Amino acid sequence: MTHKPKIYIIDVTNRDGVQTSRICLSKLEKTMINLYLNEMGVFQSEFGFPVTHHETNYLNANLELAKKGVLSPVRLGGWLRATRDDVRNAFKLVPGIKHVNLSISTSEQMILHKFKGKLDHGSVIKEMVESVKDARKSGAESIGVNAEDASRTKMDYLIEFSRAAKEAGADRIRYCDTLGCDTPFTIYERIRHLLEEVRIPIEVHCHNDLGLVVANSIAGAKAACDCGLDAYINTCVNGMGERAGNADLVSVILAIKYGNGMQDYSLDEKIDLKMAWKICKYASYAFGVPIPINQPGVGANAFAHESGIHADGALKDRRNYELYDFEELGRGGPEIIETGRKITAGEYSGIKGFRNVYEKLEVVFRDDQEATQVLELVRYANVHNQKPLVDDELKFIAKYPEIARKIFAMIP
C-alpha cells in the first residue's frame, strides 16, 4: 500500500449543531467556534448554510477572515441540497465559497415517503450529478456528496450513487447514519463493502440515537482506512446535533488516540487537544447547555477521584486510574474570577467603563475615535448575543472591527 490513510475531522457544530431543536448560536458565536476549531487544527468547519439569507453576511465575513489568513488552514465548508437551484444560489450569495457538501436522500424510505414522486432513484442520481458538475464549474475546490440516510439505503443503490458521484468529480462521499440506527458492526461492514466497490474517501456522519455515535464513527473510519482510503469524521463540540446529537469532537479524538487497537491508525497530525477545554467551555456557554459532569475529557469528574482505592492509586501514579493527562486537554490552569468590583461592557455601556474593560484585556486604542467606534460595535455585539461577551469576543471585535460589523449586519 503506497498511501498511508489518515483520519481527519470535519466539525459540523455550525451546521448540524445549530439546526438542532431549541439551541442556537449567534453569528459572532459561530465565528468564534470557527476560530477555535482552526486553532485546534481541525481540517474543516462546516460553517453554515450558503442559501439561507441570514447567513450571507456571516459566511462572507468568515471567508474574508480566511483570505486574510486568520481562518487558515481550516477549510470552511457550506452545506446545501444537491440541486442545481441550491448550487446556483449558493455561489451567487457566497461567491468566495470553495468547499461544499451537497446533500440528497438515498434510502427507499426517503425516496418514496419524502420525495413522494417528485424524484425517483434515477432522478436522485441525475440531480446529484448535475449539481456536482455545476458546483465544480462555479469554483468549488472540494466537493463532498452526502448520501442522506445512507445506513438505510440498499447497498446496490448506494454503490451506484457513489460511483456516479465519483465520476461526476466528487472528492468524498458522506455516509450519513441519519437516524442513528447503525452499530459499529454494521457500519464497518457497509463502508468496507461500499469502498471495495467504489474507491473514494469517506465522511462518516453519525447520530447518537442508540448511544453508539462515537463507536460508530470510529468503526466507519476504520473501515475506510482498512481499504487504504482517508476517512473524515463529522463531529460537534460537546456532542450537539439533531436529536441525541452527533459525535462529540473531543471523544472522537481521544478514541482515535487512546482506543485499544487504534494505534496503527493515524489521526491528522495538525489536531491539538490543548484547545479542548477552551472550545468546550465556550460552546457550552454559547449554546447555554452545561457540560455533563461525566463528559469524557472535559467533564468536571473526568479527572476526579474520591473513593479510597482510586484516590490512593491516582496519587501514587496517574496512570493507575487515568487513561490520558488533563494537561493534554488544556486543563489544569487557574481560572481567574474577579471577586471585587467589576465593570462590564454591555448594550448601554459608556466610554469610561468600556475603556476600563479593554485596559484589563491589555488592548490599546489609537485614539478616542477608534475607541468610540469599537464601543459602538460592542454594544451591537451585546444586542446580537444577548449575553455578556467573553474576553476573546471583545478582543476579536477590537482586532477586526470591519469584519465584526458585517457579522452583525442582517436585513430581513
Contacts with Zn ion by CB under 5 A lie at 16
User: Is the CB of 16 or the CB of 203 nearer to Zn ion?
Assistant: 16
Which residue in the block uniquely carries the three cell numbers 468536571? Answer: 300
Beta strands in 68-222 (DSSP E): 75-81, 99-105, 142-148, 172-177, 202-206
Q: Closer CB to Zn ion, residue 16 or residue 29? A: 16
First to last CA, the chain: 54
Give backbone dihedrals phi and psi of 248, rounded to 5 degrees, phi first: -65, 130
* DSSP-derived secondary structure letter, 21: T
> For Zn ion, which residue has the nearest CB?
16
Q: List the grid coordinates of 174.
A: 458522506
CB of residue 265 vs Zn ion: minimum separation in angstroms?
Answer: 24
Q: How far is the CB of 209 from Zn ion (least distance, A)?
A: 11
**Among candidate residues 185, 175, 183, the one with its CA nearest the CA of residue 205:** 175
Nearest-approach distance from CB 161 to Zn ion, in angstroms: 18
Q: At a CB cut-off of 8 Å and minimum separation 6, what does 193 contact? A: 155
- Cβ 211 to Zn ion shortest distance, Å: 16
Q: To the nearest whole angstrom, how small is the minimum distance from the Cβ of residue 246 to Zn ion?
A: 6
State the pairing for strand pair 202-206/172-177: parallel
Closer to Zn ion by Cβ: residue 209 or 328: 209
Cα angle, residue 210 at apex, residues 204 and 211 outer, rounded to 5°: 80
CA distances (Å), 201 to each of 168, 174, 221, 238, in order?
Answer: 15, 9, 10, 26
> Which is nearer to Zn ion, 16 or 230 (by Cβ)?
16
Q: Minimum CB separation from Zn ion for residue 79, in Å?
A: 10
Nearer to Zn ion, 16 or 134 (CB): 16
Pick the closer one to Zn ion by CB: 16 or 182. 16
Cross-strand pairs, 306: none
